[in-house]
Amino acid sequence: MASKIHMGDMPELMENIFNNLNNEICSLYSCALNNIESATILLRTLAESNTKINTIELNYLDSNYEPQVFHALIHIIKSQEQLRLFSLAGDYTVEFHGVISALESQKNSLQEVKLDNCDFSAGFEVLNNCKNLETLHMRYCYTKPLKSLDYKVSTLEVIESDIDTQSMALIFEKSGILLQRLKLELDEEFQDELLLLEALKSFCPNITYLSIQVTGFSPQLVELIGNLQKLKFFSLWCDRFDVNDIPEEVLKIRVIKFSEILPLTLQYFNLRGIWLEPYLDILFNHCNAPLKKMLIYRLNNERISKALVEFCMRNKALNYVGVYKYFDLDDNTRKEVEPSVELVPYEYIVVD
């Protein structure tokens, strides 16, 4: 029984398979469509023979494809009874020739949308009508200001996408208490970072998973984390050059406050990079969160090792410390720390 089909698989054979599968295909994965004629025939055949596909992933969609390719894609989208996941990797085009608009036909079933390298246009507002949309991924996308965005999602991923502040803040506001998982990586050119943090603090208190990459270790960031009283998984990266501009005494006080307000629900903390490395001992000395897993860049400082051991004695829940530079650990550090907690390679316990 075939449940997944890759469009690059032997065109002549695939057409015969489609005609005999009797609705047994549930996923369609497409790479670059090199043979346009064969791909079009296959898509049309599949649309006519199968209505049970719940996943369509287009790994590359070139805006210069022949019109018949887009017509075939539209046909296969509209012919499905319950499409749940739609994924599209584009070429930074704003013209999708009706493919995005075709998702209107799946407004009652579509639950997850993944977009890579796409330029948003008004056509994406069709997602506003998707009543059961729960998960939205936007990676390396560009959006013009879209005032009518009305996405309400429980899982949101925005990776280095050029999105205007008002649109992002509106997604946070509309999602509100529904938003539970957020991965946010802002590029260096993003403006109004503090406004986004304020919007998150105001509208989204139920986040349990937060992976955030921002420029500054700001008071607004500290306040946001203190407001997330259901947070269980937390990954944080800040620009070390921005952190270096903070006066040392101010930074120490901010680290203390940050450590003390980490939610008592927090079990996993990934402190990415070296931006806070000189102050790790302060973090350990003032943290009361019952962490089970902690990830750091390296552990090569006796002061920090001692603070980690003392934290383990207080915490009693910490099982693993993932170290990015694991193979640089010296024997003395291992002897001091490992009786209290197991040191493991970073990649063993990292959660993406």
> Please, where are the H alpha helices in 97-181?
165-175
Bridge partners of residue 185, in order along the sequence: 159, 213
Q: For residue 167, what pLDDT band results from cuts at 50, 70 and 90?
A: confident
Q: Residues 202, 206, 212, 218: is their CA dihedral positive or negative?
A: positive
Asked if 136 and 156 count as a contact pair (C-beta separation under 8 A), the reply is: yes
Contact 50/76 with Cβ under 8 angstroms? no
Q: Do 98 and 74 contact (CB within 8 A), yes or no?
A: yes
Distance CA 319, CA 341 (A): 6
Rounded Cα distance, 106 and 100, in Å: 11
User: What pLDDT score was predicted for residue 47?
Assistant: 76
Nearest to 199 by CA among 226, 178, 171, 180: 171
CA angle 233, 115, 230 (to 5 degrees): 20
Bridge partners (DSSP) listed for residue 214: 238
Phi, psi of 74 (to 5 degrees): -60, -40
**Is domain 213-352 in CATH 3.30.70, yes or no?**
no
State yes or no: pLDDT of 15 exceeds 60: no
Q: Which amino acid is at 348?
A: Y
Rg of the Cα atoms in the chain = 24
Please measure the distance between the N-terminal and C-terminal CA atoms of the chain and give it in whole angstroms.
32
Which two tokens mark 18?
């489609």
Q: How many residues does the chain have?
A: 352
* pLDDT higher than threshold 90 for residue 301: yes
**Does the pLDDT value for residue 184 go beyond 80?**
yes
* Least confident among 102-106, 207-211, 280-284: 102-106
Integer Cα distance of 176 and 124 in angstroms? 21
Average pLDDT estimate for 249-258: 98
The overall longest dimension of the chain from CA atoms, in Å, is 72
More confident residue, 127 or 45: 127
* Percentage of residues in the chain having pLDDT higher than 70: 85
How far is Cα 345 from Cα 335, in angstroms, rounded to an integer? 17
- Output the CA–CA distances (angstroms, integers) from residue 258 to 153, 215, 223, in the order listed: 28, 16, 8
If one compares 35 and 211, the residue with the highest pLDDT of the two is 211
Nearest residue to 42 (alpha-carbon basis) of 28, 62, 52, 61: 28
- Cα–Cα distance, 204 to 178 (Å, whole number): 8
Q: 183 pairs with which residues across the strands?
A: 157, 211
Q: Which two tokens stand for residue 255?
A: 């680290």
Evaluate whether 112 touches 127 at the Cβ level (below 8 Å): no
> C-alpha dihedral over 267, 270, 275, 277, to 10 degrees?
70
Task: Give the confidence band of 2 by pLDDT, cuts at 50, 70, 90.
Answer: very low
For 46-57, the pLDDT digits (tens) are 777 788 889 998
> Can you give the residue ranges of every domain in the chain?
1-105, 213-352
